[in-house]
Amino acid sequence: MSEFRAVVFGATGGVGAALVTMLQQSGSFCAIHAGARNPVAAQASTIIPFTFDLADEASIAQAAGAIGSAGPLDLAIVATGMLHGDCQNLPEKGWRFLDAQAMSHVFAVNTIGPALIAKHFLPLLRRDRCSIFAALSARVGSICDNRSGGWHSYRASKAALNMLVRNFAIEFARRNPHGIVVAVHPGTVDTPLTKPFQRSVPEGKLFSPEQSASRILATLDALSPADSGKLFAWNGDEIPF
């Protein structure tokens, strides 16, 4: 059994749960810390559940203290995010649908929460060999790739997350030149997040959580420190910011 250790945030979501399962099945990790708002049902002794709340930094700090006490991490994946939730008019089709409260909530989940996770968990990553911090982002968060507009809060929150990933990569390189900090677009995955929009997805482009998770892990496995600070698609293609 390897001594590699991983943490996955959003472990009860479609992609997050699939990531936890695949990391466990790989046999490469002696511990996979699986975080969610409600406890995860551990299917193996190597899966260690913990709870956190993206809106409560104290809960993230508490998780970091407990997980960090067991030793450094090799992999941290933030698989949280929201597109519409229970908020009306999300994602916005135009500027007239913008709402300050809804916009603040989207940024809290998609940008501020992952940033606070990075604040407390980047210091826990190994400094003596390659270690990876990855946050699930979205292609629509690319400013260069935006040709249709709309979805203002979601696009902007993911664009902000991409910038934070670039910032964190620069800072983390001073601590560990072998480290990698990236954003990853998981593709359009068959989950409640995408359910209202699946009708327009081209044939063959709607992935199961297992397909997406497998491709995300393959993409991460193929990266080098020179790729740190970038946004990658599920198939390994770089997406310009």
The model carries a pTM of 0.95
Q: What percentage of the chain exceeds 70 in pLDDT?
A: 95
- Residue-wise over 159-175: b if at least 16 C-beta within 10 A, else e? bbbbebbbebbeebbee
Categorize the per-residue pLDDT at 202 as very low, low, confident or very high, splitting at 50, 70 and 90. Answer: confident
- List of domains in the chain: 4-239 (3.40.50.720)
What's the 3-state SS for the chain?
A: CCCEEEEEECCCCHHHHHHHHHHHHHCCEEEEEEEECCCCCCCCCCEEEEECECCEHHHHHHHHHHHHCCCCECEEEECCCCCCCCCCCCCCCCHHHCCHHHHHHHHHHHHHHHHHHHHHHHHHECCCCCCEEEEECCHHHCCCCCCCCCCHHHHHHHHHHHHHHHHHHHHHHHHCCCCEEEEEECCEECCCCCHHHHHHCCCCCEECHHHHHHHHHHHHHCCCHHHCCCEEECCCCEECC
Categorize the per-residue pLDDT at 84 as very low, low, confident or very high, splitting at 50, 70 and 90. Answer: confident
- Residue 91: half-sphere exposure toward Cβ, Cα within 13 Å: 19
> What pLDDT, in 10s, does the model give residues 114-138?
999 999 999 999 999 999 999 999 9
pLDDT at 1 over 50: no
> What pLDDT, in 10s, does the model give residues 175-187?
999 999 999 999 9
Cα separation, 125 vs 109, in Å, equals: 23
